Amino acid sequence: MEDKAKRILIIEDDRFISEMYARTLRKAGYTVEESMTGPEGLAKAEQGGWHVILLDIMLPDKTGVEIIQEIRASANDNVSDTRIIIITNFEQDDATRQSMEKLADGYLIKAEITPRRMLEIIQEMDGTATAVKSEVETAPESSVEEKPE
Amino acid sequence: MKHEEKFHLRLSNLIILFGLTILFGMAAAWAVTAVWLEMDPMMSLAISLAFGLVLVLTIATFGQRIIASPTNNISKAISHVQNHESYVLKPEKPGKLGGDYIRDLVKQIYELATINNDATNEIEARRSYLDYILQSAPFAVYAFDKAGNLQYSNERGEEYLDIDYKEALGMHIDKVLPLQFQSDDDLESWVEFSRENKIKDEKFFERVSLVRTDSSRHIFDAIVHYSKDDPAGVEVLLSLGEKTEQYMADESEMDFVALAAHELRGPITIIRGYLDVFEDEMKDIFNVEQRGLLQKATVSSEQLSDTVNNILNIARIDQEHMKLHIREANWLDVINEAHDSLKLRAQVHGRILELSLPDKLPTIAVDRASIMEVISNLVDNAIKYSYEGGTITIAVKEDDNFISTTIQDNGIGIPKSVIGNLFKKFYRSHRSRQAVTGTGLGLYICKVIIDSHGGNIWVRSTEGKGATFGFELPTYESVAEALKKGDSDGQGIKRSSHGWIKNHSMYRH
């Protein structure tokens, strides 16, 4: 277990939404920072040291796609370990899906992901989930999916 | 006697005549000089030989014209034919030396030439007729060779090229016709596959898009024909039918729905999110009753979200954008998961959600996200049309190559007159006379999803005695072969209707 609390960055222009996720994640012990614009978010992201970045795909000034490309392109070593999860209320079309699957570590519909569910997902990624509610499928080819713990 | 035989006879007669002429001539010369002129015998002989020589030369000079004239006629005939000059039968006056025979030969030469011409003309005529059809066709036709270079385009096809036709010929398809396909299952991969596995094949592609240099966009339906050893060297024949207006209209409709859904989802996110936060932070402060009040709002906000998803699904189904990711899954896990997420909903509405499951089942082939929506819709349905305190039972059993799942309630039931229409779009049965909200979309979506899985959905009911909705889905084993050819998605991505997350993302690098 690390001494330092894991840091999460939320880049989302709707303050109500970023606050609700931030509140629940802070309660669970994460350090959370919020950013409401693209350029500011990108600057913070490039500082590095983030465990997870939650990124809204539809920001007013810069698209989430551009941001994620720039983050990935960043030479900062700290950044390359960061998991980036796209959060949005748009359904993705095939073209977006294909490029997103290469760049992002996840794509979640906000209207379906409550704060506690978001916490669960992040904890699952950490492997620190206490009650793993496996509500999604596992898809390595033709193997039977694993049971929830 | 045939003309040819006559000719040979006359020719030999002529030669004999020439020979005899020379002999007699020489004899006459000798007779005159030796007998009449009483010259020296040696002198006579010399004069006879000289005379004989003169005769030979004379005959040779004039005789060769006679002998050669038949061949002259033949060679003239051949040159007439080559130069497409008038065909006049020579010799005009058959007779003398094999005239008939030569006329026959000349006639044959002219006839052969005519047949050849006619055949050529017919081919030309047919080719220009086909060419006319191709050129006036309302669809584009392109031919590409084994290197993927353009060999031919009809007139309509030229309209879609951004490069001048003459320059475009011989250029690669990627440069002259940069088509975009709906998925990775595109022309290039199909042609590659065909090269290794097929002699001839055909494929239909829907909604193929082309963006021009002026940024205008065309959308086509395409039919492609592959041929391994075409004698003309055409490997791929591509035909494009213009469907821009129709598909653009579809797309803007879909865009509207997607936009509306997005707009609705904003407030839904906040409502659900803060209810969740509130529930979490008040769970130790509220009493049971107060928690129950909050749960009603939570459950309802979930149902609101489900309705938005239903609307999006309907739009996708209509536009045929619905894409399923069918994978092997453990059905008992899926049912348990559904039960977990729906039991609260049932409880809040005062219903009991029960399970009746076997211990073991073969694995199943499903698109997990959409199957969850089916179960959710059917359970919602059961909740709506059953009584307070009622039990809703989800039961599963194996049935040959299928796994069948039923959702049974003991509610108001469905009259016979209505059952046949239940799975139709927008249908609201008499059951909706009760004060119940619903959009009539749910059952329609269920049917489309189950059908797309290769399954069946049905309903059994007696009015006043509840209803049982059921569906069966194929076991994974029964469809495994067909699935393996389908889209491969083995990147360890977990999908749901909520989006997707990469499995073990720490292994991303």
Q: Identify the closest residue of chain A to B280 by CA–CA distance.
A: A116
Neighbours of B429 (CB within 10 A): 17
Contact predicate A115/A21, CB 8 Å: yes
Separation CA A38–CA A47 (nearest Å): 14
CA atoms within 13 A on the CB side of A37: 4
Summarize the confidence of residues A100-120 as an average pLDDT. 90
Q: What rounded mean pLDDT belongs to chain B?
A: 85
Contact predicate B289/B259, CB 8 Å: no
**Per-residue confidence (pLDDT) for residue B430, from 0 to 100:** 56
- B-contacting residues of A 96-135, CB under 8 Å? 98, 101, 105-117, 121, 124-125, 133-135
Q: CB-CB: which of A17, A94, A138 is closest to B269?
A: A17
**Residue B499 to residue A106, Cβ atoms within 8 A:** yes
**Per-residue confidence (pLDDT) for residue A27, from 0 to 100:** 95
Separation CA B502–CA A112 (nearest Å): 17
Counted across chains A and B, CB pairs separated by less than 8 A come out at 151
Contact predicate A36/A60, CB 8 Å: no
Summarize the confidence of residues A57-62 as an average pLDDT. 78
Using a CB-CB cut-off of 8 Å, the residues of chain A touching B278 are: none
Cβ-in-10-Å burial (0-12, 13-18, 19+) of B398 comes to middle
Give the DSSP H/E element, type plus range, for residue B458.
strand B456-461
Q: CB-CB: which of B265, B495, B499 is closest to A137?
A: B495
Residues paired with B380 in a beta bridge: none
Using a CB-CB cut-off of 8 Å, the residues of chain B touching A84 are: none
- B-contacting residues of A 23-42, CB under 8 Å? 23-24, 27
SS (H, E, C) B350-371: CCEEEEECCCCCCCEEECHHHH
**Residue B265 to residue A111, Cβ atoms within 8 A:** yes
Neighbours of B31 (CB within 10 A): 14
Separation CA B453–CA B436 (nearest Å): 30
**Per-residue confidence (pLDDT) for residue B436, from 0 to 100:** 42
**Per-residue confidence (pLDDT) for residue A138, from 0 to 100:** 35
**Residue A138 to residue B494, Cβ atoms within 8 A:** yes
| Sheet with B200-211, side-by-side order of all strands | B150-153, B140-144, B236-242, B217-227, B200-211, B179-180
Chain centroid, CA B244 distance in Å: 18
Residue A4 distance to chain B (closest CA, Å): 19
Separation CA B468–CA A55 (nearest Å): 44
Angle (nearest 5°) at CA B485 between B481 and B491: 110
B41 SS3 class: helix
Q: Does A73 touch chain B (CB under 8 A)?
A: no
Tell me if the pTM is above 0.80: no
Tokens of B434: 């009760």
User: What residue spans of B353-434 are helical by DSSP H?
Assistant: 368-384, 416-419
Separation CA B244–CA B191 (nearest Å): 25
Q: The tokens 């993927």 sit on which residue?
A: B148
Mutual orientation of helices B331-348 and B288-318 as an angle, nearest 10°? 120
Separation CA A15–CA B95 (nearest Å): 116
**Per-residue confidence (pLDDT) for residue A1, from 0 to 100:** 44
Q: Identify the closest residue of chain B to A117 by CA–CA distance.
A: B276
Amino acid at A87: I
What are the pLDDT tens digits along chain B (509 aa)? 677 888 788 888 888 998 999 999 999 988 888 888 888 888 888 988 999 999 999 988 887 877 777 788 788 888 887 877 766 676 666 556 667 787 888 888 888 888 888 888 888 888 888 888 888 888 999 999 999 999 999 999 999 999 999 999 999 999 999 999 887 788 999 999 999 988 899 999 988 999 998 888 999 999 999 999 888 889 999 999 999 988 888 777 777 887 888 889 999 999 999 999 999 999 999 999 999 999 999 999 998 998 888 888 877 777 666 777 788 889 999 999 999 989 988 988 899 999 999 999 999 989 888 899 899 999 988 988 888 888 999 999 998 889 999 999 998 888 787 777 788 776 665 555 543 444 467 888 899 899 888 899 999 988 888 899 999 999 988 887 766 655 445 446 666 667 777 764 333 33
Contact predicate B351/B389, CB 8 Å: yes
Helices then strands, counting H and E runs in chain B, come out as 14, 15
Angle (nearest 5°) at CA B260 between B259 and B263: 90
Closest to A113 in 3D by CA, of A62, A66, A56: A56
**Per-residue confidence (pLDDT) for residue B92, from 0 to 100:** 65
Q: Does A66 touch chain B (CB under 8 A)?
A: no
**Per-residue confidence (pLDDT) for residue B416, from 0 to 100:** 81
Separation CA A21–CA B10 (nearest Å): 119
Angle (nearest 5°) at CA B281 between B277 and B283: 115
**Per-residue confidence (pLDDT) for residue B246, from 0 to 100:** 85
Using a CB-CB cut-off of 8 Å, the residues of chain A touching B266 are: 14, 89, 111
Residues contacting residue A64 through CB under 8 Å, at least 6 positions apart: A11, A55, A56, A57, A58, A86, A88
| CA B293 vs CA A116, B279, B286, B298: distances in Å | 19, 10, 10, 9
**Residue A145 to residue B308, Cβ atoms within 8 A:** no
**Residue B277 to residue A147, Cβ atoms within 8 A:** no
Q: Which of B500, B503, B508 to mutate to test the interface with A (most CBs of A within 10 A)?
A: B500
Q: Does A89 touch chain B (CB under 8 A)?
A: yes
Residue B272 distance to chain A (closest CA, Å): 6
Closest to A112 in 3D by CA, of A121, A123, A101: A121
Q: The tokens 């609260």 sit on which residue?
A: B344
Summarize the confidence of residues A28-35 as an average pLDDT. 95
**Per-residue confidence (pLDDT) for residue A78, from 0 to 100:** 57
Separation CA B407–CA B392 (nearest Å): 7
Q: CB-CB: which of B182, B496, B505 is closest to A135?
A: B496
**Per-residue confidence (pLDDT) for residue A95, from 0 to 100:** 66
Contact predicate B497/B369, CB 8 Å: yes
Q: CB-CB: which of A27, A90, A147 is closest to B262?
A: A90
Contact predicate B376/B445, CB 8 Å: no
Separation CA B347–CA B298 (nearest Å): 12
Q: CB-CB: which of B328, B484, B503 is closest to A144?
A: B328
**Per-residue confidence (pLDDT) for residue B407, from 0 to 100:** 95
User: What residue spans of B137-221 are helical by DSSP H?
Assistant: 155-159, 165-168, 173-176, 187-197
Task: Considering only residues A13 and B496, tell me which one the structure prediction assigns the higher pLDDT.
Answer: A13
ipTM of the complex: 0.82
Contact predicate A12/A54, CB 8 Å: yes
**Per-residue confidence (pLDDT) for residue B435, from 0 to 100:** 39
**Residue A139 to residue B502, Cβ atoms within 8 A:** no
**Per-residue confidence (pLDDT) for residue B65, from 0 to 100:** 79
Separation CA B506–CA B503 (nearest Å): 8
Using a CB-CB cut-off of 8 Å, the residues of chain A touching B337 are: 133-135, 148
**Residue A142 to residue B480, Cβ atoms within 8 A:** yes
